[in-house]
């Protein structure tokens, strides 16, 4: 069965797996036993808003295509780090159809999870073990949080975390992205959304005056590769002193993480090489690499440093203009 | 159960493991379904109203059908291709309301209310788009399988770029970004850059479409039909059940439930009563159904009980004390697949170890003595180098469509490098007359050695077609392709080298090859061929493992051989303080390489390279050099037919064009001989019924075909001359290169060909002057030459993140006369880039302790993309090879042998650390440079 609800209410009332762009689901549904009914959001109204509220808060409809968000000029001016993370993930042909919520709610790319041969042993497929832990985990976590050692796939989730972003869920309303993605200890899930719940929008609080941001992804090729490590940095620099800092990291744990020790180290410092080096080193505090992922710690340090340097080199971000100034982007691919 | 086989039992499935003899509880053969047929009831279909290439269309699709599937199957628009099926390669790209999207993951239902443009819709009203002309002119393609995706994407990019910037040339970074969702396994990236930049700059806005590559137009328009595009009336779809276990015994197989599924037509047991599973991915049963979804469901319904055992997956695991044996019995060993292109030599076995093969040594004792002396004086260089398994990853997977027009004749459409050999082998296997089997392979989405022999896909399709009484299509999924489609065997290379007081080289080396269940992979011939005068003690050892069979891969053994040898030589030069080129020159008698020394010495980046480790910054540059040497082969039995008649000039042979340019080479040869335009020559290949042509492997296509083609043209000219003399009553007629000269002037050959009655001649490949190095074995002759390369690579290492990037490369090749300089350059660039991809990115990884594939898609199995392409300089020296008729040695393989070692040497030059293990992943590099 497949249904194409036209309203949010109808969508919520329909039983089955929600499908947005389908770019993640399509592949997963080819695995044995992962089919079932579909609720396709193709015709569902109310998922494509894009506007700044009076206080500068940005609301991005859940169904917005990733490409449109990454290339949006206003978003790039106000949230450059976010726009870079969004605009650089996957490939152009995927971003053109994949949605913001679909990205947040995609499931892990762990190669054991995705292998038909793994069967249902894997935690995330309803089993009771993690094949990667004792197996080949070259691209897995370096912050071992206990059970499953896969890394969370969502670059947008990682970016939202750096912005203390929120998601609007129907029913239930706003909740923080860290609530949505959980703390990484629930080995059987990649997020805490329950059946019947629907994400309707992603919400970013306004940036601060004097904010600089940058995104960096460590990969082995030039482009189009899942990150080994990815980092988004926000620095608020006032009168030459760092007043606030947020550093989020992806590719390191079953959930995106904040490097809070690094953040604390930066406060009150001048944005210089010494402060950045110390902060980058501190990003591995709390890490617990697996036998094959020790190298990722070095990538964490390098990527945080890289993102800090890039952020500092830039002009501060543009503060959002008040109320609805942002035009709705032409929905080329919707 | 009814056994309906004939022939099938006569051999084991090539590519799958040969199987032990213990009988299964049931006797399993083939079975035809008696379940009710017809389309499955009750499945929900969704109506989709869309417009494709400007035409309003209604599709009926399943909820999970991809847009790609719907368009290809229902509208018969097969231009856009299924490459990976998970968004990574871009072969499936179509425009949705003008924006390129990956359609393999796009639900077909999302096409509702949208405008779709496929590659077939890019040309408007018969006029090619400027990007299409650009790809043709700049040769931005080889096999052409990725090309539709690139064209669809580039067309949108050029449109956007022109709207924003006018006719201005974008830089490479901009193009790389725009095309970052596309992969080309042939690595035609250089030409693609030129094409897209040129189209943006307006260089292809006007004028006729021109191409050196003879079949370029078909490839840029989506008209080229590959095996995966073949659709026959009543065609069924096959899927196989692959073992999830690396090592197991099958206790029972029960397919009753599978056969009862409506739409399933028949099943074939590939175990033939045997029970041993020797590698994950091994095909156990295959079945055919009315569509792919039902076939997949049916495979899932086959019940198999396994007795799962511990596999030995790597060289150390298989060599360990008490390792599980891959072939516990002598009999099984005999059926081990052959990983090489040549015949298998008899060798001794000890557990999982076969060999050593020592006969390529030279003055063994002397080599060992010299090494001992050098060890004593501390001047020996020794180490263990390793290389990872490299999957062929042709963008068109292994594919076959088989049907039986009558009970004793067979037609198989096959994605193969060997139409003729496959037809012969099919005839043997199925007990048919040779002329009753036709193998067709019009367009092939590349091979690289992985499609050189008759393999299981052809046999499965053929067998099922017979059982079901209908045409059967069998195409591997990307996951399956990466698992059993073939790979360059991984190796462990223990090598010691020394230079004595007289400046002479000595080498003692052992190669352990892991070709999985296959044997016969060799490295020692390549070690022997370079610096052939040096004393060498060389051993080749097979270590069989519970992994899929390795296959020949472009320059088999070469990249591995030189990865170790050429790094050791570099280190020796460094330790001795000798110039690495001058030192090699002393040992190098190869005439084909002599002219390249001057060329290399003239390269500034090489001449002015810094001392190893001199660069202390974060980004460190280094330059490295390495040599490669390859055989020069030909197929002496090659024939080429040339005809004139109502279709103009037609040249044909049972060869195939795998993207290497066979069609172009033949057209150019005929054009040159007869003074016609190459585009006016009709080339027919890819059909086993034509006169015998060579397998496209071993770099022998050009050196086999061109001489035969010239002989045919000469014969044709004789006939034309005779005919002209009489028919046109020419006085004082003499044949010249341009045509027939007579008292009244000259009649060009082209004119005579147009007016003569239909003629047909066959040319045979003449022998080399002075004969061959060895009498032909298996239809292949070693010519009395070896080809030569010099490769220089400049890399940049990011010491913060361990990332290595190739910045610039210089490839110098002595391969004789080039029949098509543009395509030769494309081949060389592709071979170099593939080797860089091997060195930096590619690695097959299997689940430890279990053996199934983890790098099962193109996200985890990493191929070089547009953005990874360095600046390339390619130099050919065209002299030499005097004894080969037409003087062309092959070049498909020589170009790919030296880059890994050159990069290894560049790494040493950049950071002072010498890498031993491939690929150079960031974690390896970080570990190396941190010490
Ligand atoms: C080659 C490749 C590379 C990639 N690289 C990256 C990368 O680097 N970083 C990255 O982050 N991603 C990457 N991706 C993943 C890609 O971004 C996701 O496939 C995509 O974002 C999923 O979006 P979708 O709309 O297609 O989701 P779908 O496939 O439709 O859905 C995904 C999941 O989200 C759920 N869902 C969707 N919308 C809602 C909603 N509104 N409410 C509740 N549940 C919902 C679905 O039920 C499903 O479980 C890559 C993908 C590919 C193919
Ligand atoms: S087939 Fe769609 S991206 Fe490879
Ligand atoms: S031409 Fe690109 S894959 Fe062959």
pLDDT tens-digit map of A98-154: 999 999 999 999 999 999 998 888 999 999 999 999 999 999 999 999 889 999 999
Substitution site in B69, B86, B479, B482 for ligand 2 pocket (most atoms within 8 Å of beta carbon): B86
Q: Are B143 and B232 in contact (CB under 8 A)?
A: no
The CATH classification number of A211-313 equals 3.30.390.50
Token pair 């159809």: residue: A97
- What element of type H or E holds A3? strand A2-3
Tell me the backbone φ, ψ of residue B525, rounded to 5 degrees.
Answer: -60, -35
Number of residues assigned to chain B: 931
CB pairs under 8 A between A and B: 175
Half-sphere exposure of B467 (CA within 13 A, CB side): 32
Residue A208: name the closest of A125, A320, A315, A284 by CA: A320
**Spacing, Cα A93 to ligand 2 middle (Å):** 10
- Chain A nearest CA to B518, separation (Å): 23
A330 touches chain B (CB under 8 A): no
Q: Is the omega angle on the peptide bond into residue B558 within 30 degrees of 0, that is, cis?
A: no
What lies within 8 Å, CB to CB, of B164 at 6+ separation is none
CA B276, CA B21: separation in Å to the nearest integer? 8
Give the CATH number for residue B447: 3.30.365.10
Q: Do A114 and B856 touch (CB under 8 A)?
A: yes
Is residue B349 located within the same domain as residue B436? no
The bridge status of strand A257-258 relative to strand B648-652 is: unpaired
Is residue B541 located within the same domain as residue B416? no
Question: Which among B60, B105, B152, B799 is the top mutation candidate for probing chain A, defined by the most A β-carbons within 10 Å of its own β-carbon?
Answer: B105
Closest residue CA from atom 16 of ligand 1: A103
Sign of the Cα torsion B536, B768, B898, B526 reads negative
What lies within 8 Å, CB to CB, of B64 at 6+ separation is A26, A29, A35, A38, B107, B293
Q: Are B432 and B490 in contact (CB under 8 A)?
A: no
Half-sphere exposure of A259 (CA within 13 A, CB side): 35
- Other CB atoms within 10 A of residue B879 CB: 14
Is residue B142 located within the same domain as residue B251? no
Which domain-ending residue is among B166, B197, B224? B224
B43 touches chain A (CB under 8 A): no
Give the chain A residue nearest B179 (alpha carbons): A92
Query: B residues 757-816 near A, CB within 8 Å?
Result: 800-803, 805
Asked whether residue B154 is assigned to any structural domain, the reply reads yes
3-class secondary structure, B876: strand
Tokens of B717: 């000219």
> Degrees (nearest 5) of the Cα angle B617, B618, B624?
80
- What is the pLDDT at residue B16? 35
Per DSSP, B691 falls in state: S
Q: Do B102 and A38 touch (CB under 8 A)?
A: no
- Low-confidence stretches of chain B (pLDDT < 70) are 1-28, 35-43
Closest residue CA from atom 2 of ligand 3: B184
Is residue B151 located within the same domain as residue B205? yes
- What is the pLDDT at residue B196? 98
Q: Do A119 and B244 touch (CB under 8 A)?
A: yes
Is residue B456 located within the same domain as residue B493? no
Per DSSP, B91 falls in state: T
For B657-688, the DSSP string reads -SSS-HHHHHHHHHHHHHT--GGGEEEE-SBT
CA B890, CA B634: separation in Å to the nearest integer? 9
CA B269, CA B23: separation in Å to the nearest integer? 13
Is residue B503 located within the same domain as residue B363? yes
- In this prediction the pTM is 0.96
- Per residue in B652-694, pLDDT tens? 999 999 999 999 999 999 999 999 999 999 999 999 999 999 9
Report the complex ipTM: 0.95
Q: Are B219 and B147 in contact (CB under 8 A)?
A: yes
Residue A333: name the closest of B99, B115, B67, B87 by CA: B99
Tell me the backbone φ, ψ of residue B877, rounded to 5 degrees.
Answer: -105, 120
Is residue B410 located within the same domain as residue B506? no
- Which atom of ligand 3 is closest in space to residue B186's alpha carbon? 4
What lies within 8 Å, CB to CB, of B248 at 6+ separation is B276, B277, B306, B307, B308, B309
CA A246, CA B463: separation in Å to the nearest integer? 63
Q: Where in chain A is the domain with CATH 3.30.390.50?
A: 211-313
CA B486, CA B389: separation in Å to the nearest integer? 9
Ligand of minimum distance to the alpha carbon of B89: 2
Asked whether residue B51 is assigned to any structural domain, the reply reads yes
Q: Is the omega angle on the peptide bond into residue B339 within 30 degrees of 0, that is, cis?
A: no
Per DSSP, A143 falls in state: B
Q: Do B110 and A42 touch (CB under 8 A)?
A: yes
Sign of the Cα torsion B636, B638, B644, B650 reads negative
Is residue B12 located within the same domain as residue B98? no
Chain B hits for A35, CB-CB cut-off 8 Å, are 64
Per DSSP, B249 falls in state: E
Q: Do B852 and A222 touch (CB under 8 A)?
A: no
- Chain A nearest CA to B869, separation (Å): 9
Identify the residues whose C-beta falls under 6 Å from ligand 3.
B 141-147, 184-186, 188, 395, 446, 659
Query: A residues 115-144 near B, CB within 8 Å?
Result: 115-117, 119, 131, 134-136, 138-139
A258 touches chain B (CB under 8 A): no
Q: Do B100 and A94 touch (CB under 8 A)?
A: no
3-state secondary structure B130-148: HHHHHHHHHCCCCCCCCHH
Give the chain A residue nearest B112 (alpha carbons): A42
Q: What is the tally of structural domains in chain B?
A: 6
What lies within 8 Å, CB to CB, of A58 at 6+ separation is A50, A51, A52, A75, A78, A79, A203, A204, A206, A320, A326
Tokens of A112: 């054991």
Asked whether residue B911 is assigned to any structural domain, the reply reads yes
**Spacing, Cα B170 to ligand 3 middle (Å):** 23
Is residue B738 located within the same domain as residue B819? no
Cβ(B90) to ligand 2 under 6 A?
Answer: yes
Cβ(B460) to ligand 2 under 6 A?
Answer: no
CA A115, CA B167: separation in Å to the nearest integer? 47
CA A149, CA A137: separation in Å to the nearest integer? 8
> Domain span at residue B298?
4-39+243-308
**Spacing, Cα B444 to ligand 3 middle (Å):** 10
Chain A hits for B841, CB-CB cut-off 8 Å, are 220-221
Ligand of minimum distance to the alpha carbon of A95: 1
Asked whether residue B360 is assigned to any structural domain, the reply reads yes
Q: Do A93 and B862 touch (CB under 8 A)?
A: no
Asked whether residue B771 is assigned to any structural domain, the reply reads no
Tokens of B712: 């045919």
Tokens of B373: 């002396």
Give the chain B residue nearest A135 (alpha carbons): B848
Ligand of minimum distance to the alpha carbon of B830: 3
CA B725, CA B733: separation in Å to the nearest integer? 7
The bridge status of strand A2-3 relative to strand A38-40 is: parallel
Q: Are B102 and A91 in contact (CB under 8 A)?
A: yes
Give the CATH number for residue B100: 3.10.20.30
Residue A156: name the closest of A120, A195, A191, A132 by CA: A191
Is residue B791 located within the same domain as residue B806? yes
- Listed in sequence order, the DSSP H helices in B75-180 are 130-138, 147-165, 172-178
Which domain-ending residue is among B445, B469, B484? B484
Asked whether residue B237 is assigned to any structural domain, the reply reads no
Cβ(B898) to ligand 2 under 6 A?
Answer: no
- Exposed, middle or buried, B689 (CB in 10 Å: 0-12/13-18/19+)? middle
Number of residues assigned to chain A: 334
Residue B760: name the closest of B804, B712, B723 by CA: B712
Asked whether residue B566 is assigned to any structural domain, the reply reads no
Token pair 């292994």: residue: B398
Cβ(A161) to ligand 1 under 6 A?
Answer: no
Per DSSP, A263 falls in state: H
CA B671, CA B676: separation in Å to the nearest integer? 5
Chain B hits for A295, CB-CB cut-off 8 Å, are 802, 922-923, 926-927
Token pair 């997956």: residue: B313
| Local confidence pLDDT in tens for the 334 residues of chain A | 999 999 999 999 999 999 999 999 999 998 877 789 999 999 999 999 999 999 999 999 999 999 999 999 999 999 999 999 999 999 999 999 999 999 999 999 999 999 999 888 899 999 999 999 999 999 999 999 988 999 999 999 999 999 999 999 999 999 999 999 999 999 999 999 998 899 999 999 999 999 999 999 999 999 999 999 999 999 999 999 999 999 999 999 999 999 999 999 999 999 999 999 999 999 999 999 999 999 999 999 999 999 999 999 999 998 986 544 444 444 433 3
Convert B360-398 to b/e letters by CB count within 10 Å (16 or more is b). Answer: bbbeeeebbebbeebeeeeebbbeebbbbbbbbbbbbbb
CA B900, CA B890: separation in Å to the nearest integer? 20
- What is the pLDDT at residue B65? 96
B860 touches chain A (CB under 8 A): yes
Which domain-ending residue is among B484, B506, B539? B484
Residue A5: name the closest of A48, A38, A34 by CA: A38
> Degrees (nearest 5) of the Cα angle B204, B205, B207?
75
CA A112, CA A128: separation in Å to the nearest integer? 13
- Listed in sequence order, the DSSP H helices in B469-506 are 478-484
Token pair 């004894």: residue: B883
Is residue B67 located within the same domain as residue B141? yes
Tokens of B199: 């189209």
State in Å, rounded, how far the first CA of chain B is from the last one.
64
| Partners of B276 in beta bridges | B249
Q: Are A248 and A159 in contact (CB under 8 A)?
A: yes
Q: Are B658 and B417 in contact (CB under 8 A)?
A: yes
* Domain A46-204 in this protein, CATH class: alpha beta
Is residue B493 located within the same domain as residue B379? yes
Question: Which among B107, B862, B867 is the top mutation candidate for probing chain A, defined by the most A β-carbons within 10 Å of its own β-carbon?
Answer: B107
- Other CB atoms within 10 A of residue B322 CB: 6
Chain A hits for B853, CB-CB cut-off 8 Å, are 115
B862 touches chain A (CB under 8 A): yes
Chain A hits for B102, CB-CB cut-off 8 Å, are 23, 91, 93-94, 97
Sign of the Cα torsion B364, B366, B367, B372 reads positive
Residue B803: name the closest of B626, B617, B644, B620 by CA: B620
- Which atom of ligand 2 is closest in space to residue B183's alpha carbon? 4
- Chain A nearest CA to B806, separation (Å): 10
Q: Do A94 and B102 touch (CB under 8 A)?
A: yes
CA B180, CA B162: separation in Å to the nearest integer? 19
- Chain B nearest CA to A293, separation (Å): 9
Q: Which residue of B107, B853, B867 is in closest CB contact with A222?
A: B867
Q: Which residue of A23, A138, A333 is in closest CB contact with B97?
A: A333
Query: A residues 142-201 near B, CB within 8 Å?
Result: none
């Amino acid at each position: 069965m497949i249904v194409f609800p036209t309203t949010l209410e109808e969508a919520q009332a329909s039983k089955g797996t929600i499908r947005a762009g389908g770019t993640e689901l399509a592949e997963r549904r080819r695995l044995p036993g992962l089919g079932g009914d579909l609720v396709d959001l193709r015709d569902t109204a109310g998922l494509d808003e894009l506007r700044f509220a009076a206080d500068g808060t940005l609301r991005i409809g859940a169904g917005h295509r990733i490409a449109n968000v990454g290339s949006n000029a206003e978003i790039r001016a106000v949230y450059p780090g976010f726009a870079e993370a969004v605009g650089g993930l996957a490939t152009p042909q995927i971003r053109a159809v994949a949605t913001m919520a679909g990205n947040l709610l995609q499931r892990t790319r762990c190669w054991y999870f995705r292998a038909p041969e793994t069967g249902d042993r894997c935690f995330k497929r309803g089993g009771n073990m993690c094949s990667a832990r004792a197996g080949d985990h070259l691209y897995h976590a370096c912050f071992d949080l206990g059970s499953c050692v896969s890394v969370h796939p969502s670059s947008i989730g990682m970016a939202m975390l750096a912005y203390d972003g929120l998601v609007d869920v129907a029913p239930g309303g706003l909740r923080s992205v860290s609530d949505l993605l959980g703390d990484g200890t629930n080995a059987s899930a990649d997020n805490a959304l329950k059946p019947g719940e629907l994400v309707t929008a992603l919400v970013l609080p306004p940036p601060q005056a004097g904010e600089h941001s940058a995104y960096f992804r460590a990969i082995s090729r030039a482009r189009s590769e899942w990150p080994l490590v990815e980092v988004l940095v926000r620095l608020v620099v006032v009168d030459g002193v760092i007043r606030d800092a947020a550093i989020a990291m992806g590719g390191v744990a079953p959930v995106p993480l904040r490097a809070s020790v690094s953040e604390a180290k930066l406060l009150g410092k001048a944005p210089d090489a010494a402060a950045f080096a110390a902060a980058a080193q501190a990003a591995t505090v709390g890490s617990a690499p697996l036998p094959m992922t020790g190298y990722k710690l070095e990538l964490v340090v390098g990527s945080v440093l890289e993102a800090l340097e890039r952020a500092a080199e830039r002009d501060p971000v543009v503060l959002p203009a008040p109320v609805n100034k942002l035009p709705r982007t032409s929905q080329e691919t919707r | 159960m009814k056994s309906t086989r004939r022939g099938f039992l006569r051999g084991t499935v090539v590519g799958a493991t040969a199987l032990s003899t213990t009988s299964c509880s049931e006797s399993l053969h083939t079975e035809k379904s008696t379940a009710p047929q017809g389309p499955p009831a009750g499945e929900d279909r969704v109506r989709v109203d869309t417009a494709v290439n400007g035409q309003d269309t209604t599709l009926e699709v399943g909820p999970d059908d991809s847009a790609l599937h719907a368009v290809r199957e229902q509208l018969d628009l097969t231009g856009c291709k299924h490459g990976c099926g998970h968004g990574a390669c871009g072969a499936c790209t179509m425009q949705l309301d003008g924006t390129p999207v990956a359609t393999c993951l796009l639900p077909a239902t999302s096409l509702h209310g949208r405008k779709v443009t496929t590659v077939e819709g890019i040309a408007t009203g018969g006029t090619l788009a400027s990007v299409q002309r650009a790809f043709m002119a700049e040769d931005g393609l080889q096999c052409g399988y990725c090309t539709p995706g690139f064209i669809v994407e580039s067309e949108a990019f050029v449109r956007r770029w022109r709207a924003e910037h006018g006719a201005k040339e974008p830089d490479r970074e901009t193009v790389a970004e725009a095309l970052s969702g596309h992969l080309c396994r042939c690595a035609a990236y250089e030409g693609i850059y030129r094409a897209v930049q040129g189209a943006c700059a307006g260089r292809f806005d006007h004028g006729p479409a021109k191409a050196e590559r003879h079949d370029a137009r078909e490839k840029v328009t989506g008209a080229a039909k590959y095996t995966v595009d073949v659709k026959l009336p009543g065609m069924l779809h096959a899927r196989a059940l692959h073992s999830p276990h690396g090592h197991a015994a099958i206790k029972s197989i029960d397919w009753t439930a599978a056969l009862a599924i409506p739409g399933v037509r028949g099943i074939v047991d590939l175990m033939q009563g045997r029970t041993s599973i020797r590698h994950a991915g091994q095909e156990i049963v295959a079945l055919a159904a009315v569509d792919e979804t039902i076939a997949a469901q049916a495979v899932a319904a086959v019940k198999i009980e396994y007795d799962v055992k511990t596999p030995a997956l790597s060289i150390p695991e298989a060599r360990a004390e008490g390792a599980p044996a891959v072939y516990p019995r002598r009999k099984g060993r005999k059926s081990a697949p052959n990983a090489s292109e040549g015949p298998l030599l008899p060798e001794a076995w000890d557990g999982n170890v076969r060999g050593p093969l020592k006969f390529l040594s030279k003055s063994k004792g002397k080599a060992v003595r010299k090494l001992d002396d050098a060890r004593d004086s501390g001047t020996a260089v020794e180490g263990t180098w390793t290389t990872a398994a490299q999957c062929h990853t042709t963008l068109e997977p292994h594919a076959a469509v088989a049907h039986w027009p009558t009970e004793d004749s067979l037609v198989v459409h096959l994605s193969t490098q060997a139409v003729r050999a496959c037809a012969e082998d099919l005839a043997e296997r199925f007990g048919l007359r040779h002329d009753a089997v036709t193998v067709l392979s019009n367009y092939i989405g590349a091979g690289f050695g992985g499609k050189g022999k008759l393999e299981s896909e052809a046999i499965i399709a053929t067998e099922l077609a017979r059982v079901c009484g209908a045409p059967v299509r069998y195409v591997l999924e990307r996951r399956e392709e990466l698992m059993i489609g073939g790979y360059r065997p991984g190796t462990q290379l223990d090598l010691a080298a020394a230079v004595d007081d007289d400046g002479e080289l000595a080498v003692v080396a052992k190669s352990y090859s892991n070709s999985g269940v296959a044997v016969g992979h060799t490295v020692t011939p390549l070690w022997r061929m370079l610096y052939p005068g040096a004393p060498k003690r060389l051993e080749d050892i097979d270590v069989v493992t519970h992994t899929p069979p390795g296959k020949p891969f472009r320059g088999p053994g070469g990249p591995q051989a030189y990865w170790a040898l050429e790094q050791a030589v570099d280190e020796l030069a460094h330790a001795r303080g000798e110039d690495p080129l001058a030192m090699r020159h002393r040992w190098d008698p190869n005439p084909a390489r002599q002219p390249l020394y001057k060329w290399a010495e003239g390269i500034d980046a090489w001449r002015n390279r810094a001392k190893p480790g001199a660069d202390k910054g974060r980004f460190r540059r280094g330059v490295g050099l390495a040599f490669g040497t390859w055989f020069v082969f030909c197929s002496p039995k090659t024939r080429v037919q040339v005809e004139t008649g109502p279709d103009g000039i037609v040249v044909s042979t049972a060869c195939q064009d795998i993207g290497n340019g066979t069609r172009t080479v033949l057209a150019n040869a005929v054009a040159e001989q007869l003074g016609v335009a190459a585009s006016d020559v009709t080339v027919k290949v890819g059909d086993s019924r034509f006169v015998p042509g060579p397998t496209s492997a071993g770099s022998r296509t050009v050196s086999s075909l061109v001489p035969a083609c010239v002989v045919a043209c000469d014969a044709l000219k004789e006939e034309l001359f005779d005919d002209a003399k009489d028919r046109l009553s020419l006085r004082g007629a003499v044949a010249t290169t341009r045509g027939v000269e007579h008292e009244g002037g000259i009649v060009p050959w082209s004119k005579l060909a147009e007016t003569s009655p239909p003629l047909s001649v066959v040319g045979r490949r003449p022998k080399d002057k002075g004969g061959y190095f060895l009498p032909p074995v298996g239809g292949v002759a070693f010519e009395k030459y070896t080809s030569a390369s010099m490769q220089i690579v400049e890399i940049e290492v990011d010491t913060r993140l361990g990332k290595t990037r190739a910045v610039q490369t210089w490839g110098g090749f002595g391969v004789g006369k080039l029949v098509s300089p543009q395509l030769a350059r494309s081949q060389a660039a592709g071979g170099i880039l593939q080797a860089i991809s091997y060195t930096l990115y590619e690695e097959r990884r299997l689940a430890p302790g279990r053996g199934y594939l983890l790098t099962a898609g193109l996200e985890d199995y990493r191929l070089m993309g547009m953005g990874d392409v360095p600046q390339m300089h390619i130099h050919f020296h065209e002299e030499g090879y005097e004894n080969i008729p037409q003087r062309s040695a092959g070049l498909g393989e020589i170009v790919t042998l030296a880059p890994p070692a050159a990069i290894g040497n560049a790494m040493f030059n950049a950071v002072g650390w010498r890498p031993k293990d491939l690929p150079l992943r960031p974690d390896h590099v970080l570990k190396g440079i941190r010490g």
